[in-house]
Structure 1
Amino acid sequence: MRSVLYAEQLRPGAVFDLGTAKISKEEILEFGRRFDPLPLHTDEDAAAAGRFGGLIASGFHTMAVLQRLTVDAVFSRAALIAGREISSVHMRAPVRPGDVLHGSMKIAEVRPRDDGTAIVHSRGTLTNDTGTVVLEIQGATLWEHRPPPAGRASGG
């Protein structure tokens, strides 16, 4: 069992490696058909004739990939309460079938609150296998602080 990661363990500037995900044509088509049925995500022939010269992943699909990598690498072991906001999303480059995306999460700020929680501001980034940034997201999440040891009275 991995230890729980609490808010007070996070430091501004710390970077978490989120690992990689390979994006398949089938995933792009399935996500596009279900959630973003534009031809550039769902129709190979129409996409080939379009501005991008081929099928590309929906930006929402790309964000979902980053979320999955973040959950697997960090949030699944974090004393995370909930997401608070996404303050910016930048889709920098298209994601194509066969791309291998690498994720990272950088802590920007940890703001403790009086209720035993903290607001954590971070930036998530995905780069493709050539090193091109394809997605950047800035947001905030609500985390728990480590609870006091059992039997210890709070206050002074």
Structure 2
Amino acid sequence: MLYFEDFTPGRRFGYRPKAVRPADIVAFASDFDPQPMHLDEEAGRRSILGGLSASGWHTSAIGMRMMIDAFLGRSASQGSPGIDFMDWKKPVLAGDVLSGFSLVMESRPSTSRPGIGFVKFRNELTNQSGETVGVSEGSIMFRRRDRGMRP
């Protein structure tokens, strides 16, 4: 189990590669972002995106899953107070293979809740060509090991 104390500035958590399948793009878009470029290959080709493309929200959801698999799923996470920013840098097209990382930028104990600490991360997603497709920064709250708060 990873606690607040395990997230020291500079620590990096790599993501396992994830292929983005056309069916997954269409399924996500059908439920959450039903725009033509996310639902139909031809409409995607006619758009500025160049093909069937994942919604930015889908890209972020993939990144979230990668965070869970890399470290969050085995941590004492208590949720997030929000993100500072999220940028979708380049379209994620059907067939792309995404990878990336989360980097601990800073950490600080909570002043109002002694059993909690805040960890700020920079999260980056890249495609198979090494091009950055998404970047976000935000904080996650974790239980502190040294304050006796066990899950």
Fold shared by both chains (TM-score > 0.5): yes
The two structures have a TM-score, normalised by structure 1, of: 0.89
Deviation at 1:84, TM superposition (A): 1.2
> CA 1:18/1:98 → structure 2, altered by over 3 Å: closer, same or farther?
same
Unpaired segments ≥5 residues, structure 1: 150-156
1:36: which partner in 2? Answer: 33
Alignment size in residue pairs: 146
Structure 1 CA distance for aligned equivalents of residues 57 and 135 of structure 2: 12
| TM-superposition CA deviations, 1:68-117 (whole Å, max 9, x none) | 01011111111111111111001000001111100200001101124121
The two structures have a TM-score, normalised by structure 2, of: 0.92
SS at match of 1:80: coil
Deviation at 1:148, TM superposition (A): 5.2
2:145: which partner in 1? Answer: 146
After TM superposition, list the pairs within 5 Å mapping 1:111-150 onto structure 2.
Answer: 111-114=108-111, 115-147=114-146
2:53: which partner in 1? Answer: 56
Question: Quick one: which of 81, 102, 107 aligns to 2:104?
Answer: 107
Structure 2 CA distance for aligned equivalents of residues 148 and 91 of structure 1: 38
Larger Rg: 1
Q: Percent identity?
A: 35
- The aligned amino acid for 2:51 is G
Q: CA RMSD in A?
A: 1.2
Unpaired segments ≥5 residues, structure 2: none
Structure 2 CA distance for aligned equivalents of residues 88 and 16 of structure 1: 19
Structure 2 contact 51–94 (Cα < 8 Å) conserved: no
1:67: which partner in 2? Answer: 64
- The aligned amino acid for 1:68 is R
Deviation at 1:131, TM superposition (A): 0.2
